[in-house]
Structure 1
Amino acid sequence: MHCKSLSFGEGFGERIIFLLICFLNVFAYSQTLGSKLDKKTLALGEVGVFKVNISNLQGKDVVAAPKNELLPFHFEEIKDSISKQPDLYERIIEFQVFEEGKFTIPALDFKIGGQVYHTIPYEVEVLNTAQKGDQINDIMKNKEVKLDVKDYWELYKWYILGVLILLALIFLIWQIVKYGRRRKNSPVVMTNQTLKELDNLKKKKYIESGNYRSFYVELIEIARNFITKQYKIPADVLLTDDLISVMKVNNAISPENEKIVEDVFLRSDLVKFAKTFPDEQTMSKDFEDMKAFVKRSSKDLEAEQLRTGV
């Protein structure tokens, strides 16, 4: 067996080459983590940019703090974009600080293929560039614009239309209520209502049964209500003599109708105090006379309107 001996010079040279190869091998297969801060002095609210780059990834995973959570509390992150390729990882964060003072971005952890790497720390100084007493000027002076009628119409037309519609609705409702009341108290309506009441009285057959007291009590009550509403004479509270006097002075009721009212009301008083006992023929005549009076009442009202000029 033969052994080759190396001289000192040959052995030293081989060791140098071996170490160089190892260094190049480590350099070729290692990752490079870098970071950069664009400004170390910022004004209040000014946007700063912080970048992190990892090269020579060789497809390895990169694990770091989630989006918008990488920088510490005072740094308000407004944009956090991450770009990853097989050999390159890039993260760009735009931020703002709204307090004066010096703030630190600490060494940040990035886990690359199971191994943790750290960025270098940075210190950021934030200044308030506005000085007390500074005058703030508008970019442009306010311009005075003259408005004409058309401009005012465009500005307020919906308010005007709304008010007009509201007034129209109020007027319409008022007219409907007024018309309803007028219809309800109109002479024709009152006449028809009273005629129905007289028909209901006749159906009770007081005349046929000789119940003259009940007949005259209800007949006079119907007549008093009718005169009160149709002629606006307070017949519901006046005694018979007083009512006859008022009718003669008022002249609202024609003489023919006055005579009917006077005869029927006086006879009713005699029946009431048992001074007379009317027969069936008399009761029937008083009923028909009162019914005719109610029907002719509209002519009395027309004559009254002509007399007074209403």
Structure 2
Amino acid sequence: MKLKKILFILCSLVCVNTFSQILSSHLDKQTLALGEVNHFVIKIDNLNNQPVTAAAKNELLPFHFEEVKDSIGTQPNSYERKIEFAVYEEGKFTIPVLEFKVGDKILKTIPYEIDVINTAQKGDQINDIMKNKEVKLGAKDYWELYKWYILAALGVIAFIVALIMYLKWGRKSKASPVVATNQTLKELDSLKKKKYIEEGNYRSFYVELIDISRKFITKQYHLPADVLLTDDLVHLMKKNNTISLENEKVVEEVFLRGDLVKFAKTFPDQQTMENDFADIREFVKRSSKDLEFENLRKDV
């Protein structure tokens, strides 16, 4: 009877050892020099295809341990993790108990204490392996060393020069009197092609003609013609003296007639519309002379 009990216990132990997971760990050295690489291995056997869950790569050891390499090998029946690490501070450090989950079971390693020492002694002489050699550099060598700095500096200089040229000449050319004049003449040609005059559509004709003229005066003479009423604009032109008397008269007559047409107080014929169109067109062409005279007056 006793023999049967002994055999039963032995069989149970064998079964437990056969089917339960076995975790083992090994640390190469427990005394290290500063920066010396050490090896730490964790192994789990008898997995029986069960998954192993642990800390991510390079995150298993505490922050004092600088992990150099962290490799994980898995087989259907085994798990092995090899870690190479170094410590760059003197003192005693501990690798704590580490947990590995196998299926629903938690396995733990034993803790390890590591003593990190500085092997360099005060007063030790440090000798170079080889003597320093003087190397003479030529123009090509200096170019290879500094070419990106030189190219970057040239690029910055080119950008600054281009920006200055744009600010000095580019913007002025776009806002020059000639450009404004040509643009307005094109708009007047487009208005002519709509045949408002031939069709007797005097209201649309004067609305667009005065709108083009107001924008031109605003841009060419820098007067707020786009927001002022006709009477206020005429008063400002006479006070400002920038526009010649001939051009003032054209603007005043056409704008006043346009206001009357807008409120249905007058009904101009085709010839009147033709004359007003021609007068505004000539006014636009003559505007550059007004500006030349104004510049001469300022210089004096």
- Counterpart of 2:159 (choices 169, 186, 189) is 169
Aligned pair count reads 173
- Counterpart of 2:125 (choices 136, 144, 167) is 136
Q: Which runs of 5+ in 2 are unaligned?
A: 1-118, 129-141
TM-score by length of structure 2 reads 0.51
Q: Following TM superposition, by how much is the alpha carbon of 1:179 offset from its aligned partner in structure 2, in angstroms?
A: 3.5
Q: Which runs of 5+ in 1 are unaligned?
A: 1-129, 140-152
- Counterpart of 2:256 (choices 254, 266, 278) is 266
Residue equivalent to 2:243:
253
Q: Which amino acid aligns with 2:249?
A: K
CA distance, structure 1, for counterparts of residue 270 and residue 120 of structure 2: 115
Q: Following TM superposition, by how much is the alpha carbon of 1:173 offset from its aligned partner in structure 2, in angstroms?
A: 3.8
Kindly report which structure 2 residues correspond to 1:1-310, keeping only aligned pairs within 5 A, or say none. Answer: 132-136=121-125, 159=149, 162-176=152-166, 179-309=169-299
Q: Following TM superposition, by how much is the alpha carbon of 1:158 offset from its aligned partner in structure 2, in angstroms?
A: 7.0
Q: Following TM superposition, by how much is the alpha carbon of 1:260 offset from its aligned partner in structure 2, in angstroms?
A: 0.4
Deviation string, structure 1 residues 56-94 (Cα, Å, up to 9, x no partner):
xxxxxxxxxxxxxxxxxxxxxxxxxxxxxxxxxxxxxxx
Q: Which amino acid aligns with 1:133?
A: K
C-alpha change, 1:288 and 1:134, in structure 2 (3 Å) is same
CA distance, structure 1, for counterparts of residue 156 and residue 245 of structure 2: 50
CA distance, structure 2, for counterparts of residue 205 and residue 274 of structure 1: 20
Deviation string, structure 1 residues 95-131 (Cα, Å, up to 9, x no partner):
xxxxxxxxxxxxxxxxxxxxxxxxxxxxxxxxxxx87
Deviation string, structure 1 residues 119-147 (Cα, Å, up to 9, x no partner):
xxxxxxxxxxx8732332678xxxxxxxx
- Aligned-pair RMSD on alpha carbons? 3.1
Deviation string, structure 1 residues 239-272 (Cα, Å, up to 9, x no partner):
0011011111111111110110001001111111
CA distance, structure 1, for counterparts of residue 197 and residue 208 of structure 2: 12
C-alpha change, 1:297 and 1:131, in structure 2 (3 Å) is closer
CA distance, structure 2, for counterparts of residue 173 and residue 233 of structure 1: 29
Q: Which amino acid aligns with 1:297?
A: S
Deviation string, structure 1 residues 160-216 (Cα, Å, up to 9, x no partner):
674254123232144236544322221111111111111111111111111111110
Residue equivalent to 1:43:
none
Q: Which amino acid aligns with 2:198?
A: E
CA distance, structure 2, for counterparts of residue 157 and residue 211 of structure 1: 70
CA distance, structure 2, for counterparts of residue 177 and residue 305 of structure 1: 21
